Structures are given as structure tokens and as C-alpha cells.
Structure 1
Amino acid sequence: MNQLPGLDELIHAAHVVTLPMTVQFRGVRHREALLLEGPAGWGEFSPFLEYGAPEAASWLRSAIEAAWEGYPDPVRGSVPVNATLPAVGPERIEAVLASYDATHTIKVKVAEKGQDLAQDVARVAEVRRLLPDAAIRIDANAGWTHGAAMEALEALAGFSLQYAEQPVAGIEALARVREEVARRGLGILIAADESVRKESDPLAVARAGAADLIVIKAQPLGGVRRALQIVRDAGLPAVVSSALDTSIGLRQGAALAAALPELPYACGLATGSLLSADVTADRFIAVDGSLRLRDIAADPELLRRHAVDAGRLAFWRQRLADCHEQLRRAGA
């Protein structure tokens, strides 16, 4: 970041929206996001509501990079993407997947609170039945203990999983699972997500041998350029994912995926279909299983239609101020 814009400049450039979800995801029914219009285009600042300023400040850095600096030059013009399946019952899976144009690769959410392993197995089994040739990956969002993770991976190994994303919390625990998976010969790669973006040192995953690949997000890692550096330093294959972004935020993720020197896996950037509304009429969604790079701008009428009320606007302006102060103190 060349120079941090002033807080007044950011507040003047900010639009805050709330968008309904098609299904509940991470306990969310409406997704709130603050969008910034800057000299280089649009950026999104949408840390989840439970994140405090120290963690959310990186999300603001990413939005400022997008809107004030723009993106590094891409090495590819399109990005293959996966479909993301929330923790729904088998009877709903076909309908949810029908909303995606990216069914060559499916990420299946597992370890949902209030559900059990039998439900996870049934979900993965139904996806495999519907799409026998698709690549299937699972994402536990660090929801399992070591014992539960190993029981689940044993039960799911027969479905030829591409990889298991963040089965347990923490780097040491992730390394233990990876070691045990290898010892048992389960043939499942282990991906780190939260252990990359929530740790003070994201490269600790690579040093600990805790993962075969890393899942990266532009917003939590502080923008495209910072995320690219993390991938270079880690020396591991990377998958770019989203955080329930609007089309503006998905464009930030696509800029990251498009700039990676190598992209061996489909990316989790097709989550726009989980929103039943967006901030642009020409939504950033996959065609033939890929996102094609193009400029995305918010539509003034949709910004007005989905604007938050005065109370939520005040909440987001305070978040913006708190995160701006974090960046200012860090010398951003």
C-alpha cells in the first residue's frame, strides 16, 4: 500500500449493504459488506461480524488495495472454480448444485454444529452418486477433534477425496492429522485454511509440515500482493477461496488466483450463487466452470436497494474507523 487514505476519504467512499442468502451458511442468513469506490475501482471490506479490529484490519487493507492501487498483472484470463455445498440434507443437494455452473469440482461442508458424521457421509455419498466423475473436497472449518477427524477421514476415504480442508484447529493439531493420515495410508491430502489466515505467522504451516496445500483468501491476508508473497514464501500449492463475498470481493479473489504462477486446483470463488441478490446486475459468476476476468462495478440503484439501516451503517463506520486506526498504527 503506497499511502493509507484518510478516514474521512474512506467514509465518503463507503457503501454498506446487506444481501440475503439463498441458504444459511456459517450461520449467516444475510451477508453485510462495506464497499469502497476508489480511484482504481471498487474494493470490498466484509470481515465476519465476530472479528475484532486486529483481525479485520487486513480485510480493510485488501479493500484499499483493490480500490486505490488496483491489481497486479494476471498470468491467466480465467480461473477454474468449484461449487460449494453447504451442510444441507441429501434431499436438497441436487437443487443446490443446480445453481452452480462449476460442477467439475465440489467442496462439501462437513462438521457442522448440531450434525453428526452419518450426515456428513450421507452428504458426500449423494454428491458422488450425482457426480461420479467430479473432484470432491471436504471442508470441516476446524470443527473436529483429532479423534473425530480420523474417524471421519476413515469413513470418507472411499469417496476418493481430492483433499480435506482444515479438519482440526491449530497448526500442531493439523500436522498430527496429516501424519496419521499418511500412516494409515488413507491417501487424502490435507489443506490448511484457518491455520494460514488466522495465525500471526501464516508460514508456520509450511515449516511444521502441517499441510499439503494452503487455502488463501485475498481479504483476510491483506490483499492480492501480500497473499502472493505468502504463497511464494510457503512453497506450497495454493487454492484461492472466498469469504461469502459480493461480486466486488469475488473479483479481488479472482485477481489473486489469476496472478498465481501456478494454479493446480479449482478455486472456491463461485460462492456468488449463495447470495440471492448482489451489488451489480452483471454478477461475477462462473461460465462453463470458470470465472473470466473482467472489471466489476457496483450499481448505484442496487446499492440503494440493499443499503443497511442507520444503526448498521453506524456499526460499519465504527468498524472502518477501528480498522483504519490499526493500519495507521502499523504504518500501512
Structure 2
Amino acid sequence: MSGQRPVSGPATVEEVLEGLRVVTLPLGIRFRGVTEREVALVRGPVGWGEFAPFVEYAPQESARWLDAALEAAWQGWPEPVRGEVAVNATVPAVPAADVPAVLARYDGCTTAKVKVAERGQGERDDIDRVAAVRDVMGPHARIRVDANGGWSLTQAADMLAALAPFDLEYAEQPCADVRDLARLRIDLAHQGVDVPIAADESIRKAEDPLEVARLRAADVIVVKVAPLGGVASALDVVAECGLPAVVSSAIDSSVGLRAGVALAAALPDLDHACGLGTGALLSADVTHEPLVPVRGALPVRAVQVDEMLLDRHASPTPRQEWWRERVRAAWAARR
């Protein structure tokens, strides 16, 4: 795909819908309350793109995800500056006893992202889960936690102080509000708690993702291709923020993960493992050679989508129609 950049994308939404395929992919482990992932794939002159905004996203937000899919299928991406991308293991909000089995899915990863602040769980669950990850991975592994904005400012300060002895690489989006992130960095410094802060939702869901840098609200930014409208747009955000970046993903098929790899491979500097190993959580994919971690990394390579797998995992007809209407709505909302 690299280097192929036609002047324009599809002229009408009908061109997009002509090659639309919708699949339902089962997960091998429950993640953020779901056991399967439904994604729409679009086919263009350059290849396949993935359109998979979460079901609650409105057309205006979903439009950016469509832009990213069209970039992949009609334009392609910049040339890579590296041949592989180091990735982290992702540990959902599972009981501590289940941590070894989760980590066993990730070949050679020396960094783990641990989900915390899960609704219905308590502080002890988070501490025990992080402790189990440290126990399994050993003293030299990097561990980061991700609260998805689930803590208040006070909770975040207290929990990060409690988790700091596990030598955290950083805490991702501990608070929902970007101003709280800025205050939290100051509060942690006053307490002598050395846990860097990473911004995720404050980048990908913000009207102004550069506010994070202006407010000095984070030490690291987490960028995702689809919510930022594509690889080219995400590269601009990283450049303008001027902060170290980690590329991450949702639960994507290998088509969606390939876009994340393209972004990570094009970044001038990449000092952290990326959150692109989530293909290891899927029990099925749309390719016979899925993008899953091998020796802790993903290669920068093409993904060959298999038509038989598209047929095997095709979503029911009502869901196909639902996604077609969703593409129409997102197309109409594009700027």
C-alpha cells in the first residue's frame, strides 16, 4: 500500500458500499464486556480498510473512522521507517488468577497494558491484577495501566500511589477530563509519586487533541488511526503535540491493525511498545496469517484478506443492512 496515493477517494458512497463486507469475529476472552467484535470492511483500488466505530458512536464521530478506512482502501500510507513494531500484551479486567493464561497468548511481549477501574470492581481487584502481571513477567518487564477515564482526580491520585511500587511505565487516561490530567500530574509530583501520565481519550475523542500538549496534561500521547481519521491525520497530531507517542487500537481485525502498524512504522521516533497486539484476543480473523505478536513484535507487511473467511464469519443480513446505513450516515457527516 505504501506510496500509492491517488488524487481522490471514492466519489460517492455507493462506491464504498459496493465492496462492503461485514463480519462478526469471536473473542477468546471477554474484553470490556464483549465476547465478539463486529466490523465492516471496505475494498478499494489500493486494498482493504476497516470501518468499526463502536455501536454507540454517532455519525459525526464515526465519520473519522470512515475517513481512515477510505484512506487505507483508496490512498495507502507513507513509507515505513522501520520493519517491525514492538507491541504490548493487553490484560483485560480479569481476576488475578487468570493473568497467566492471558499473558500466554502474547509471544515474547515484554510490556503489558493492564486494564483497571472496571465498573463493578474494586481497588483490590486492580492491585491484585497488576501484582499478578508483575509476578508473571518479572522485574524487568514494563507495565502500564489503563483506566479509560474511570477514576476521579482523587481516586486516580490514591490508586496510582498504591500502584507505583509495581514500577509503572505510565498510567493511561486515569481521569476523563483533560484538566484533571493536568492537575493529577501536579498532585503526583507533590506526593513524590513517579508515574507518568498518558492521554488516550483526551486525544482521540477530543474536538481539539492538541489541548493535551497546551495544558501539559500528559507525558505521552496514545494515538489510534481510526478515531483520528487516518494515518496521515494521526501523524500530524503527533507532530503538533510534540510528545512521545504510542500507537494503539481497539479490538480490530488484522485489516484494522495493519493501519495501526502503518502509523507506528511511519513515526520518526517510537520509544514505547504499541498497543497493537490485540489480535491475540481474537479467536478468528479475516486472514489466514493474522497480525499477532511474534517475539513481541508485529511485522510491517500486507494483510491478505481471504474471501472464504469473510463468508464464514459474515454477520446476519439485518446486521449487514445496519452497517450499510451506518456507512451512509458517516459519509453524510464527513467534513
**TM bin (shorter chain):** over 0.9
Q: Distance in 1 between matches of 2:233 and 2:249?
A: 16
**Hey, what does 2:27 align to over in structure 1?**
21
- Conserved 8 A contact 1:242-1:268: yes
Q: Which residue identity lines up with residue 58 of structure 1 in the other structure?
A: R
Q: What does 1:61-140 correspond to in 2, within 5 Å? A: 61-132=67-138, 133-140=140-147
Please give the per-residue CA displacement for 1:7-57, whole angstroms capped at 9, x wherever unaligned. Answer: 111001110001111112122111010011111111101111111111111
1:195 aligns with 2:202: yes
Taking a change above 3 Å as real, the CA distance of residues 106 and 279 of structure 1, as seen in their structure-2 partners, is same
TM-score by length of 1: 0.97
- Conserved 8 A contact 2:109-2:293: no
Q: Distance in 2 between matches of 1:122 and 1:293?
A: 35
Instruction: Give 5+ residue unaligned stretches, structure 1.
Output: none
**Hey, what does 2:288 align to over in structure 1?**
281
**Hey, what does 2:211 align to over in structure 1?**
204
**Hey, what does 1:307 align to over in structure 2?**
314
Instruction: Give 5+ residue unaligned stretches, structure 2.
Output: 1-5
**Hey, what does 2:3 align to over in structure 1?**
none
The answer to which of 290-299 and 187-196 deviates more is: 290-299
Q: Percent identity?
A: 53
Q: What does 1:145-160 correspond to in 2, within 5 Å? A: 145-160=152-167
- Conserved 8 A contact 1:81-1:102: no
Q: Distance in 2 between matches of 1:12 and 1:182?
A: 54
- Conserved 8 A contact 1:83-1:102: no
Q: Which residue identity lines up with residue 66 of structure 1 in the other structure?
A: A
Task: Tell me which of 5, 8, 28 is aligned to 1:3.
Answer: 8
- Conserved 8 A contact 1:111-1:140: yes
| Deviation for aligned residue 1:103 | 2.5
Secondary structure at the aligned position of 1:308 is classed as coil
Q: Distance in 2 between matches of 1:291 and 1:20?
A: 21
- Conserved 8 A contact 1:195-1:202: yes
Please give the per-residue CA displacement for 1:66-87, whole angstroms capped at 9, x wherever unaligned. Answer: 0100111111010000000000
Please give the per-residue CA displacement for 1:105-138, whole angstroms capped at 9, x wherever unaligned. Answer: 0000000000001000000001111112210000
Q: Which residue identity lines up with residue 300 of structure 1 in the other structure?
A: E
Taking a change above 3 Å as real, the CA distance of residues 2 and 143 of structure 1, as seen in their structure-2 partners, is farther
Secondary structure at the aligned position of 2:198 is classed as strand
Q: What does 1:188-267 correspond to in 2, within 5 Å? A: 188-267=195-274
Secondary structure at the aligned position of 2:30 is classed as strand
- Conserved 8 A contact 1:41-1:297: no
TM-score by length of 2: 0.96
- Conserved 8 A contact 1:102-1:270: no
| Deviation for aligned residue 1:2 | 4.2
- Conserved 8 A contact 2:27-2:282: yes
Q: Distance in 2 between matches of 1:171 and 1:4?
A: 34
Q: Which residue identity lines up with residue 275 of structure 2 in the other structure?
A: G
**Hey, what does 1:172 align to over in structure 2?**
179
Q: Distance in 1 between matches of 2:51 and 2:194?
A: 38
Q: Distance in 1 between matches of 2:206 and 2:128?
A: 33
- Conserved 8 A contact 2:176-2:202: yes
Q: Which residue identity lines up with residue 113 of structure 2 in the other structure?
A: K
Runs of 4+, deviation exceeding 6 Å: none
